[in-house]
Amino acid sequence: MRRGVLWPLWLVLIGGFSLVPFLWFVLTSWKSAAQVTAIPPEIVPDFHWGFYLSALRDHGLLKYIRNSAIVASLTTLISIAIGAFAAYALTRFQLPWTRTYLMLLLAVSMFPQIAIAGPVWRILSALGWLNTYQGIVAAYIALSLPLAVWILATFFKELPYEVEEAALIDGCTRVQALWKVVLPLAAPGLFTASILVFIHVWNEFFFALLILTNPALQTLPVGIALFPGEYTMPWGEIAAASTIATLPLILLTLIFQRRIVRGLSAGAIKG
């Protein structure tokens, strides 16, 4: 009984501790300029819109949001499309090297970004894709595919082959069976992979900073990081921009949390 009472308390404490930095930034975004620099710090803000207006008007936040939305959406669509075909092939054709391939895919995804930064930059430079949407999307697809293939392969393994076999007997081709039967059944896995890829790309900073040096094409993380001037640190504007950048991800997670959990737990329980 005592252990059952303590578990919810621990969860509340851990969750509250994790939320403190974000909540502090949200409160800072609503403060006045005097409150931001006040000593001792003032917790309750005056609820001013000034920092939000400044971030949107003076720092071009809408431009960064547009760029991140374009890059994240394109990367997600292409990664899931390629990942679905790859996962289908790995789980349905029973290739002898499937397990080895998946392990290599997982190992490649663990490489630190700095280790592959040079080759990626050289390839994109040779293609003339630096400071272009296609360049950053290509780099993100390479980074996101291992995650998409792993999630979708795990989900496809749990789908009954008999349903797909019936479609093949009825005259469907492999592609038609994949499109009309397998993908609708795998919707939770597709949705989970899409959300995780989108979140990863939306938050990614290193390759966006490396590939996109043109301010007109920079994404949210890079744009917010470049808010500080030579002699100033606009904490209020940074807090407002960070709040705006984080809210879409929080809303997506809260709205679709059941589908995400269902997709992530696929394959955990058999029978």
| Residues 19 and 63 grouped into a single domain | no
What pLDDT does residue 17 have? 84
| Residues 117 and 82 grouped into a single domain | yes
Provide mean pLDDT across the span 142-151: 89
Confirm whether 271 is domain-assigned. Answer: no
| Residues 43 and 147 grouped into a single domain | no
| Residues 154 and 214 grouped into a single domain | yes
pLDDT in tens, 8-66: 788 788 878 888 888 888 999 999 888 888 888 888 888 888 899 999 988 899 999 99
| Residues 6 and 136 grouped into a single domain | no
| Residues 241 and 153 grouped into a single domain | yes
Q: Residue 260: which CATH number?
A: 1.10.3720.10
pLDDT in tens, 161-216: 888 888 888 888 888 888 888 888 888 888 889 998 999 999 999 999 999 999 99
Q: What's the token pair of residue 21?
A: 């930095």
| Residues 140 and 72 grouped into a single domain | yes
Amino acid present at 160: P
Number of domains in the chain: 2
| Residues 199 and 243 grouped into a single domain | yes
End-of-domain residue from the set 30, 48, 66: 48
Measured at the CA of 204, the angle between CA 124 and CA 11, to 5 degrees, comes to 160
Domain that holds residue 69: 58-264
